[in-house]
Structures are given as C-alpha cells and as structure tokens.
Amino acid sequence: MTAARRPIYRHKDLDRLLNPRSIAIVGISQNDTTSAAITLRQLANYDGKIFRVNPRYEKIGDHICYPSIKALPEPPDCVIIAVPRDGVEACLLDSAASGAGGAIVYASGYAELGKPELVAMQDRLTAISRETNLRVLGPNCLGFANFSRGAVCTFTRGNVKSDVVVKSGIALVSQSGALAFSTAQAMRRGAALSHVIAGGNSCDVGVPDCIAYMADDPNVKAIMCIFEGLDDPSRLIEAGEIAWAANKPLVACKLGVSEHGAEAALSHSGSLAGSPAAYRALFERAHITVVNDLEALVETASFFVKAPPRPKARGVAVMAVSGGAAVFATDKADLYDVPMPQPHDATRKALDEFVPDFGSTRNPCDMTAMVGRNPKNIPGTANALATDDHYGAVLFAQTSVNPKTALELAQIGEACAAHGKIACISWMGGWVGGPGATEAEADPNTAFFQSVDRAMATLGAWFNRDDARLALENNGPRKLIRHAPADAAAKAAKLIDASKNSTLTEREAKEVLACYGVPVVGETLVQSQADAVSAAQQLGFPVAMKVESPDLPHKTEAGVIRLNLKSAEDVKAAYDAVMSNANKVSPKPRINGVLVQPMVPTGTEIMVGGKIDPLFGPLIVTGLGGILVELMKDTTLDLAPVTRDEARAMLGKLKGKAMLTGFRGSEAVDQDRLADVIARLSEFMDDQKERIAELDVNPLICAGNRIIAVDALIVKKQG
C-alpha cells in the first residue's frame, strides 16, 4: 500500500544525507570491481570521514573495517548500502538504530519491475523510513554527488569530475541515474554543477524533496530536473513554489511523453508517466521552465545562472558575420516570440564605425566577413548594441571558429556585462569542441548554446519568467476566487445522484451546469410529432430538435439532430427523421423523447471539457468547438479549478484565438465573460471529482457577451 502523503522535506531534513560530514560504506570488500569499491574511489577527494563496514573483514587495505553500522565510533551522516536486495532492510534498521542521518540504497529489483511482491518490498523500505525518521534515497539508484565537499557517492563508471570543488552552481535532480551522471559530465566542458542527485525509485526522498532542498541551499543558483513521472504531482507544484519563492530558476526535461515512452518509464523507474498535456499545465503552475531535449538542460540552466535576474529590456539584438546566420537567427526568434526591435538611430550611427556599408546596421546586424580586418569590430559592435535600451541581451551567431575565437567571445561577454546585459553565443559551426567553446561555457558573462534554436527558446523562457514575476508583483499570489453560487456544489451533486443514467442526458447535464451559473439553452421534451410542433410554435421559429437518450452521447454521429427548422412542416419531417435514425441504432437505445430547443443564433463555437485524471485529478480543457475540435485539434488544458485570469490565458494559447476577436466580420467574443464560464466549469470539475469522470460542453456559442451552452455531456464515475 502506498504511504500517506507527508510534508515535503526541506534542507534541514536532508542535510545530513546530502551534505554528509561522515559516510559509511556497507558491503565494502577487497574486490575492487564492486559498486562499494567504485564508490570508495569516487570519494578520493571527500573532505569528511569514511567508515568501511563488512563483518567478513577486520581491515580493507590499511583501514579498519567495522562489523556493523552499530559498531562505528559515531553515527554516520550518510550510509551507502551496497549490498544485495535481501540485505537492505536489515541495513536500514541498523542505520536507523545507530542514529544515521540517511541512507542510499543501490539495490534494484523493486517496484520498477511491477510485481506485487517486489512493490511490497519497496513499501517496507518506505515504512522503515517513516517509522524511524531515516531519510532514504533509492532503491534502484546511482546515489548523489555534492561537489562542494567532494562527496561523490555513486558507483557510476562514468568519468565524473570528482576532483573539482564547486562552491556554487547548478544542481541536477533526476530519477535516472545514468542520465544524471552523463549530464554531469558537462562539467568537463566548463559547466558549473554543485550537486547531482539520482533518486531512482524514490521510496522516501523524491524529486520534489530534492528540489526543495536545493532551493534552500544558498550555494545552488539554479536547479535542473530529469524525471519520468510522479505518483503525486501536487508535490511538484509545492516544490516549484519553494524554488520560485527563493528565486531559483527550475528547468525540467520530462521523459516518457510518447505512448511508448510512458510504457518504458513505468518499467524503468516504477513511476507514472502521465498525460503530456497535464504535465505541461503542471509545469506552468509550478513555475518550471520546460525543455524538450536533454541536451538543452545544462545550457538553459547555465543561462539563468549567468543572466541578470530581470532583463533590462524585452528585445534581443543579433550580431553575425554571415547574412544567412543572421536570417536563421531571426527565424528562430519569431518561432519563440522573442522580439528583435530595430536599434535607435544613435546605435546605428555608432555601428557605422564597425560595420562596412555593404553590411547591415539593422537588427540582425550583419558585420560581414570583413569583420576580421580590425580587432575592434566585434567588441565595438557588441558594445554599441548592448548600449541600446531596446535590448536585454545580445546574441552572437558564431559561425567561424579560429584561434581568435576565445578572445572575441570573451570581448562580447565583457561588453554586454558592462551594461548589465547577457551575451548569448550560439555555436553554429561543425567544430563543436573548437577553440573558444569551453572558455565561453565557463565564462560568467557568456551563455553558451550549441544551437540558435535553443538560444532563442531560452531567451523566450527568460522573458516569460519575468512576465510571471511582474504579474506576481502587480496582482499578488494566486487567489482562487469562487465564481459559482455558494450552493452550486450541493445542488449539482443532488441532481447527479438522482440520475439513473451512467451518462447524463443533455437535459440533465445542462440542469446540473445551470447550478453553477453556466448559461444553457432551454428546451421542451416531447414524445410525439404533434407535441413537437406545439412546442416549436410556443418557443418560436427557428428551432433545433434532438433525440434524448442516455445511450446516444454522440448525437451528431447517430444522425439524431436537426437544426434551423423554420416551420411546422420542417418540424414534422425532422421528428420522423431523427426518431427513425435513433431506432436504427444497435443495440436499440433507450429513448426518452425529442428535445425541442430555440435555435441559438450563430457565433464562434467553443468547446469546454474536462476529465478526472487518476494522477492529476480534475482537468479542464478548451478549444474551438463543434467539429473543429476534432479537425483542428486546437485545445489547451489546465489543472482545475482555474481562476478567471488563468481561463483567459488558456484562450490566449489557442492557435485559432483570432476567431474570438471578430475574425472576418464575425462578432468579437467577450473573452472575460467566456473566461468566467470556463472558470465556473472548472469549479464544477473540482467540486464533483468524486462523482463524475468526464464533462463535455460542445459547443458554447459565443457572440459578444452572449455565451450559451447548446449541448452538454456528463459521465458519472464508475462505481
């Protein structure tokens, strides 16, 4: 059974484990190929005490070997358990009894294999941790490295740079050990990593705990995260908020975003991969910058460490010695909505000194191949652009690598730093490790990127992060103000429970949503052609007609809808047609009758839906409605409930958002009013999450401030 949710661990809870003054290695032997022996070698530069533990030896080399953890002269801060799986529980109990601060469990073969008996074994490790207050990293993990004190507690055979002390830098938190320590090899090319933690199955200490620990650590300037999935995403939101409050940029790469990738994630770490769209919503709620490629993690996090916390301006200047490189950089800026405003006249005049007349002093600035004729051209151009208050950053599209490259890149960095701005170097040449690459990565004034794409994506993320900061300053912390009536939840719950159908009929669903103040079209239920005509005459033509059946949730496909009926003859013919089509469905559906509704005038059609996800809980989704939702697949999703501002932001992310602004003569939609309806529907999803499984309101017909739901579907939770 999964352990109950606990408070997230903070720095004080994990400091003995992750910043140990003493380490005990259990399972050490004279065999130098074992994981314990490899770990001992990785600790060659560790500045604390190391205890060797194995009852079969009195000495390992010239060092005392203790028979047990309890026999040690003092309680160790960190116990590295490098024994087979069957011996792990006893080691954990001994560690707890000795007063150890925490333990790393290397052994695998637990919940990641999905077998009930092995899941139970991992649960016992969790129980020991909870009952004894012993913090446990693992099982199925490669350990961690704290480079500030040489505590490289891992058995990875990768060439980890364990001979370096990094007093401040970037922390990396990962479920995958191999990816964690392979990413850490970026230190060999100049990146500054202060910590690496590979949590594996995370029976106790998980990714959110490690993020919170790093957010509290003054030596950590930014946090990178590689993970496959979480069993409680709300904890990631909590950790993200802790990092946000500490102003520690958090950059994440999510693995398992494809269907097959999700299956692999389950078998690899025993975690739940979850919905990619839901994770994107989660990341945004947690203030996490997302990268799609592992290769982008270090570059993006390094940028945030080096760049000013707030950009001085929203624009980026591009300088290049190639017209093609300049154009390519502009294309990527457009892709990520990075502004490239034109320089002031004074800036262009200053650039005339360094750019030939057949180049370009516009943005992008093409210095041409003649740049090398004068050593002042590159730093002079960078300084002129950095002086311009249109720009918060200068990007140099580096195409030609030569012996002067390192000096030129350093000069660009110095010129930008003098004006409180960041220089970005996008390495476009094929000589990846050529002169200047390592120097630029290590230079505190230059953010180094292996591609223009990743450079512009990161600049866009920088601006987005600042937008969020400004919103927080202007509006204060997120406030979830309820829009629905106070009695909406109770009234709706009573109606849902009263329905005998697993899928509520349209009429039942709209009655439920009306409790939340959602505007719905009225109707009359009839059982005969004559009654249909009478109802239509009372409502006024034109009308719409739909068969009501709990067994026909998708009425369009069943052919049981008729629209824009303008006369009694139209109604009679429509009644016969929809009933005939309903009776053709197999198995024969239950039919309550036919709904006659006033025909709602045309407008922009919007879909709002929702589901209760087993991992994320209630989700809300919106997009262009009617048949466009399936044709265009233009939707955006968020965690429910959402605020009105968040609902408005969802609309702004739609590719077809121009449809809401009066596209080609149509009436513009009151987006504040529409956002209010979306927020109310999200509250419905949250309130009724124990009763329902799905919601589909399609379409909402919107014109001006007239927004009305003409169809709705609610599916009850099974059981």
Residue 179 in this model has a pLDDT that exceeds 50: yes
Angle between helices 233-245 and 276-285 (to 10 degrees): 30
Domains of the chain, first to last: 11-303 (3.40.50.261), 310-475 (3.40.50.261), 522-599 (3.30.1490.20), 604-716 (3.30.470.20)
Q: Mean pLDDT, to the nearest integer, of 479-501? A: 95
Residue 298 in this model has a pLDDT that exceeds 60: yes
**Which residues, at least 6 apart from 632, have a Cβ–Cβ distance to it below 8 Å?**
623, 624, 655, 656
* pLDDT in the model for residue 514: 98
Spatial separation of the C-alpha atoms in residues 593 and 560, rounded to whole Å:
11
Average pLDDT of the chain? Answer: 92
**Which residues, at least 6 apart from 353, have a Cβ–Cβ distance to it below 8 Å?**
380
Residue 587 carries which DSSP code?
S
Segments of 249-360 assigned E as strands = 250-254, 289-290, 315-320
Query: Nearest 10 degrees: CA dihedral of 76, 80, 82, 85?
Result: 100
Residue 264 in this model has a pLDDT that exceeds 60: no
* pLDDT in the model for residue 265: 45
* pLDDT in the model for residue 4: 52
* pLDDT in the model for residue 258: 61
* pLDDT in the model for residue 522: 94
Give tens-digit pLDDT for 399-441.
Answer: 988 889 999 999 999 999 999 999 999 999 788 888 899 999 9
Ordered alpha helix ranges (H), 289-376: 295-306, 323-335, 345-351
Q: Mean pLDDT, to the nearest integer, of 209-233? A: 93
* pLDDT in the model for residue 262: 47
For 346, the 3-state DSSP assignment is: helix
Strand order in the sheet with 193-198: 151-153, 143-146, 193-198, 169-174, 220-227, 250-254, 289-290
H helix or E strand, kind and range, residue 140 = none
* pLDDT in the model for residue 431: 84
Q: Mean pLDDT, to the nearest integer, of 87-101? A: 98
* pLDDT in the model for residue 267: 45
Q: Mean pLDDT, to the nearest integer, of 157-162? A: 72
* pLDDT in the model for residue 270: 41
DSSP collapsed to 3 states, 146-191:
ECCCCEEECCCCCCCCCCCCCCCEEEEEECCHHHHHHHHHHHHHCC
Q: Which two tokens stand for residue 495?
A: 């109606």
* pLDDT in the model for residue 429: 79
For 203, the 3-state DSSP assignment is: coil
Give tens-digit pLDDT for 680-714.
Answer: 999 999 999 999 999 999 999 999 999 999 999 99
Provide the greatest CA pair distance for the chain. Answer: 103
Q: Is 309 exposed, middle or buried (0-12, 13-18, 19+ CB in 10 A)?
A: exposed
Spatial separation of the C-alpha atoms in residues 285 and 234, rounded to whole Å:
10
**% of the chain beyond a pLDDT of 90:** 82
- Exposure b/e, 490-501, CB count within 10 A at least 16 = b: eebbebbeebeb
Give tens-digit pLDDT for 430-455.
Answer: 888 888 999 999 999 999 999 999 99
Q: Mean pLDDT, to the nearest integer, of 477-502? A: 94
Q: Is 475 exposed, middle or buried (0-12, 13-18, 19+ CB in 10 A)?
A: exposed
**Which residues, at least 6 apart from 701, have a Cβ–Cβ distance to it below 8 Å?**
600, 601, 602, 603, 604, 605, 707, 708, 710
Bridge pairing between strands 391-398 and 315-320:
parallel
For 71, the 3-state DSSP assignment is: helix
Ordered alpha helix ranges (H), 336-421: 345-351, 377-387, 405-417
Q: Mean pLDDT, to the nearest integer, of 100-111? A: 97
* pLDDT in the model for residue 524: 96
